[in-house]
């Protein structure tokens, strides 16, 4: 599979994502410059963490106007897999590809530490390699990760099961103490209604190698690879079907 990692000025997790994609889960990957519009035929787009455009104005508020975002939006509308991690999540919100917004963390401080999150669904392109209810360890590192959405939209999110990951304690319980940033409904990872776009505040790329203390993040990348290869096979089958006819 071919992954495209978008580089905005101020991105700082693009190499970490690239390294995990190429060295750990052994996929092809290319960097996509934010001023370009060509997605170079990638199967999946990753918007990495960092402080695109300095986080000035609002995290992601400027990056969403980068030329590449038009292509990413079209790609997403067409069903393409898009993963936004941390600042990438914020950009997806600003771009309107996901509902809601990010506030500053409750406590108004940057937080970098390992947290536990619970896997809420396993029938999605991003979570099919996890167990339902599985508690995994991933690091967070953000200043604005306090997810907020209006009540009507939250109701829809719940109805459609769009929250794929929630902050929890070691036993999988949602407690005030286990929610590091004050996110509404303890949401750590959120997909769109169609299920092909996900934003995730924690960093799976920082938890994909044993020497970094957790390999739970790797399952997320492997889930996406599995999804993409199944799609590829079904496309091939469809193509074969068409040619026979």
Q: Where does this chain bind another protein (CB under 8 A)?
A: 9-10, 12-13, 15-16, 19-20, 35, 49-51, 53-56, 109-113, 139, 141, 143, 203, 205-206, 209, 211-213
Which is it for strands 187-191 and 135-142: parallel, antiparallel or unpaired? unpaired
Specify the residue, 106 or 231, whose C-beta has the smaller distance to another protein: 106
Specify the residue, 87 or 191, whose C-beta has the smaller distance to another protein: 87
As measured in angstroms, the least distance from the Cβ of 136 to another protein is 15
Specify the residue, 205 or 216, whose C-beta has the smaller distance to another protein: 205
Specify the residue, 79 or 213, whose C-beta has the smaller distance to another protein: 213
As measured in angstroms, the least distance from the Cβ of 65 to another protein is 14
The CA-based dihedral angle spanning residues 38, 42, 45, 47, taken in that order and rounded to the nearest 10 degrees: -60
Per-residue three-class SS string for the chain: CEEEEEECCCECCHHHHHHHHHHHCCCEEEEEECCCCCCCCCCEEEECCECHHHHCCCCCCCHHHCHHHHHHHHHHHCCCEEEEECHHHHHHHHCCCCCCEEECCCCCCCEEEEEEEEECCCCCCCCCCCCCCCEEEEEEEECCCEEECCHHHHHHHHHCCCEEEEEECCCCCCCHHHCCCCCHHHEEEEECCCCCEEEECCCHHHCCEHHHCECCCHHHHHHHHHHHHHHHHHHHHHHHHHHHC
Specify the residue, 195 or 204, whose C-beta has the smaller distance to another protein: 204
As measured in angstroms, the least distance from the Cβ of 22 to another protein is 12
Which residues are designated catalytic?
Answer: 86, 203, 205
The CA-based dihedral angle spanning residues 112, 117, 122, 125, taken in that order and rounded to the nearest 10 degrees: -10
Specify the residue, 8 or 75, whose C-beta has the smaller distance to another protein: 8
């Amino acid at each position: 599979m071919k992954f495209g990692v978008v580089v905005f000025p101020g991105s700082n997790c693009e190499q970490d994502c690239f390294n995990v994609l190429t060295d750990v889960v052994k996929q092809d990957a290319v960097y996509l410059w934010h001023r370009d519009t060509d997605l170079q035929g990638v199967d999946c787009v990753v918007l990495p963490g960092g402080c695109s455009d300095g986080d000035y104005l609002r995290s992601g508020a400027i990056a969403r106007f980068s030329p590449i975002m038009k292509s990413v939006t079209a790609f997403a509308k067409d069903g393409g897999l898009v993963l936004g991690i941390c600042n990438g999540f914020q950009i997806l919100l600003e771009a309107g590809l996901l509902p809601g917004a990010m506030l500053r963390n409750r406590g108004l401080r940057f937080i970098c530490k390992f947290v536990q999150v619970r896997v809420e669904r396993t029938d999605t392109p991003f979570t099919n390699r996890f167990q339902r209810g599985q508690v995994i360890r991933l690091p967070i590192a953000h200043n604005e990760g306090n997810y907020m959405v209006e009540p009507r939209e939250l109701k829809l999110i719940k109805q459609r099961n769009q929250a794929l990951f929630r902050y929890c304690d070691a036993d999988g319980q949602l407690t005030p103490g286990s929610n590091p940033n004050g996110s509404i409904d303890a949401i750590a990872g959120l997909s769109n209604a169609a299920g092909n776009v996900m934003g995730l505040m924690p960093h799976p790329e920082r938890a994909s190698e044993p020497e970094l203390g957790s390999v739970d993040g790797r399952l997320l990348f492997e889930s996406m690879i599995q999804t993409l290869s199944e799609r590829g096979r079904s496309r091939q089958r469809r193509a074969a079907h068409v040619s026979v006819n």
